Structure 1
Amino acid sequence: METRLALLARKGDQRAFAELVELYKDKIFHLAYRMLNNRHEAEDVVQDTFLRVYKNLERYDENQKFSTWIYRIGTNLCIDRLRKRKPTYSLDAEMNDQEGIDGYAMIPSEDRTPETEYMLSETQQMIRQAIDSLPAKYKTVMVLRYMQELSLQEISDVLDMPVTTIKTRVHRGREFLRKKLERKL
């Protein structure tokens, strides 16, 4: 379906492009927000992603999944922003922003008390801080794997790297997170 929309958009069909935006804007936003941990930067990445998609529709290979192509563009824009950042360790920037808590973080439970809410919030914050402190090459694969739920092959396609490299980075990223979280607990 996305391939058909991309081909129609390539021919100038504005409604087809609008449909692609509608299908992917939230997915790209969540990817960018999780990688950058900054709402404004994530919004910028969404806009930049769709600008690049629009400008480069001629270069889209219809034999490739559209989702892989757009995720690659969004991921690369995030990586560029992470590289340009000066290393700051203000890990609580936007952490307390309740809007930033996604649905996956709100695990449903019958017996949630203020105490369990607080503990859940503390745990979420520790995990976010640990992910935020990962080196960019590990952070990228961890976000794509565990937050965007892409397969190793899809991540390989997005990042244009061998699956073995992706497996290694996922393994090292998990080890890095485990060590970080062990120190906090």
Structure 2
Amino acid sequence: MEIRWIERMLQGDRNAFRSLYDEYFDYAMRTAKLVTKNGEWAKDAVQETFLRVYRNCWQYDRSKPFKPWFYSILLRECYRVMEREKKVLPFGEQLEKIGVEPKLPDETVDLYEALQAMEDLYRVPLILKYLHDYSEKEVAEMLDVNLNTLKSRLLKGREKLRKGLGGNRYGTES
């Protein structure tokens, strides 16, 4: 369906763009809010994403799935907005300072809150793989990382999420 919208957009059909927008807006907003941790920044990122899709639809490779292309643009826009707002922490030592501390077993923690507390390095791959059901290969391509690097980040991210939720690995005591 997306390919038909793109083809119609290339012919100047604005209704095709509207259909694409209507189909993807909610997914894009949810993802952008999880990535940016800010509703207003998410709106900016989503708006810019749709503008870039509209302006650059001719660059879309129709032999590949549309969603990964779309989400690659969305992620770049989220990061751009976060950088603009000077809220992106540099990777490396400073990420260690904002790590999620393990919760007490009797403390209730919301999955959304636990995800929001995670570093982008681990949070974004988890969102794309487990909330948006992309394959590891697709996520690696979207994030422009090696597949083994992605697998390592997913493993570490699941561990951090588990600690953030106060749970034990595989349901056993650690």
TM-score normalised by structure 2 residue count: 0.76
Matched length: 151
What secondary structure, in the 3-state scheme, does the structure 2 residue paired with 1:123 have? coil
Is there any run of 5+ residues in structure 1 with no aligned partner, and where? 90-118
Q: Is the Cα–Cα contact under 8 Å of residues 145 and 152 in structure 1 kept in the other structure?
A: yes
CA RMSD of aligned residues (A): 2.5
Where does residue 131 of structure 1 map in the other structure? 115
Q: Pairwise mapping of residues 1-185 of structure 1 onto structure 2 (< 5 A)?
A: 1-83=1-83, 84-85=86-87, 122-124=108-110, 127-182=111-166
Matched to 1:49, the amino acid is T
Q: Is the Cα–Cα contact under 8 Å of residues 72 and 142 in structure 2 kept in the other structure?
A: yes
* Structure-2 separation of matches of 1:134 and 1:44: 22
Moved more, 75-84 or 3-12: 75-84
Note the C-alpha offset of 1:164.
2.1
Alpha carbons of structure 1 residues 82 and 178: separation in structure 2 relative to 1, 3 Å: farther
Is there any run of 5+ residues in structure 2 with no aligned partner, and where? 90-97, 99-105, 168-174
What secondary structure, in the 3-state scheme, does the structure 1 residue paired with 2:23 have? helix
* Structure-2 separation of matches of 1:150 and 1:14: 29
Alpha carbons of structure 1 residues 15 and 49: separation in structure 2 relative to 1, 3 Å: same
Q: Is the Cα–Cα contact under 8 Å of residues 46 and 74 in structure 1 kept in the other structure?
A: yes
Note the C-alpha offset of 1:86.
5.5
* Structure-1 separation of matches of 2:56 and 2:50: 10
TM-score normalised by structure 1 residue count: 0.71
Matched to 2:5, the amino acid is L
* Structure-1 separation of matches of 2:68 and 2:126: 16
* Structure-2 separation of matches of 1:42 and 1:144: 16
